[in-house]
Amino acid sequence: PVRPVLPADILARKGGEPLVCLTAYTTPVARLVDAHCDIALVGDSLGMVLHGLPSTLGVTLEMMILHGRAVARGISKAMLVIDMPFGSYEESPAQAFRNASRVLGETGAAAVKLEGGQHMAETIAFLVARGVPVMAHVGLTPQAVNTLGGYKVQGRDADAARVALDAQAVAAAGAFSVVLEKVPDGLARRITADIAIPTIGIGASVDCDGQILVVDDMLGLFTDFRPKFVKRYGELGHAADQAIAAYAADVRARRFPGPEHVFPDTLPKAAK
């Protein structure tokens, strides 16, 4: 089999060809992502995108493991990373290791991702020392929506130093890459130049070492809201709406099923 991408390979891509990353939550989408991307992330965004939750706060470890196992079955060459959900790692390094080891052990993922900068550095170092590669996530950290007061840009003006220190702290702690979410363009560029690990931008800068989007956002499948940083590469939600409307009209008009979709009572005799 093809050797999968490993955390060390991602680290080695610092400053090189941009890392291509997307989320995936299911086997069929994982296959599509695997064909084109370096990293498939099972993001806790699945709470909102797949399960209709109002935020990521209600996502459980069991949900992440279930979707992680599904995505693992669709991947042969991209690196699989799985988000640690809210409440599964913040309490202590020991809690984080206990749950991260379940995520890696039960899914076969190569790494976990967790939110937080300076205050998570000790936990990141603890995990890495014990065999758990960590992708960090700073700037807008959606699990902190209630303390941040919404999904706002992080690191403008006097707040820039905090976000830069967060990125430096996770790099020093041993994270092999860091997601920068909703961080102003110039700050994201400066952080990328300053730290030795790849930065993966979402609403950050074209000069990050890689980019990530929520796959359902870029496909136009999840349309409840549309952040500025989402570029729509497809309109699959619209296509699906049209297909379902056509099906409904066909059923109501008895146009479906057609003769080609039903089974004859008697099979035709084989020609002699």
- Give the active site residues: 181
- Considering the rule CB under 6 A, would residue 179 count as an interface residue with ligand KIV? yes
How many residues in the chain?
Answer: 272
Of 190 and 229, which CB lies nearer to Na ion in the complex structure?
A: 229
- Considering the rule CB under 6 A, would residue 154 count as an interface residue with ligand KIV? no
Helix (H, G, I), strand (E, B) or coil at 150: coil
Of 81 and 127, which CB lies nearer to ligand KIV in the complex structure?
A: 81
- Considering the rule CB under 5 A, would residue 83 count as an interface residue with Na ion? yes
CB 205 within 8 A of CB 193: no
Max alpha carbon distance in the chain (Å)? Answer: 87
Of 7 and 139, which CB lies nearer to Na ion in the complex structure?
A: 139
Number of residue whose CB is nearest ligand KIV: 43
Amino acid identity, position 192: T
Of 81 and 121, which CB lies nearer to ligand KIV in the complex structure?
A: 81
- Considering the rule CB under 6 A, would residue 29 count as an interface residue with ligand KIV? no
- Considering the rule CB under 6 A, would residue 45 count as an interface residue with ligand KIV? yes
- 255/233 Cα distance (integer angstroms): 33
Dihedral sign for Cα 25, 26, 32, 34, please: positive
Options 212, 219, 221, 230; binder of ligand KIV; rule CB under 6 A: 212
CB of 266 to ligand KIV, least distance (A): 54
Q: For residue 133, what is the enclosing H or E element?
A: none
Q: For residue 93, what is the enclosing H or E element?
A: helix 93-107
CB of 258 to ligand KIV, least distance (A): 41
Residues 112/99/48/226 CA torsion (nearest 10 deg): -30
Residues that bind Na ion (CB under 5 A): 43-44, 83
Residues that bind ligand KIV (CB under 6 A): 23, 41, 43-45, 83, 137, 179, 202, 212, 214
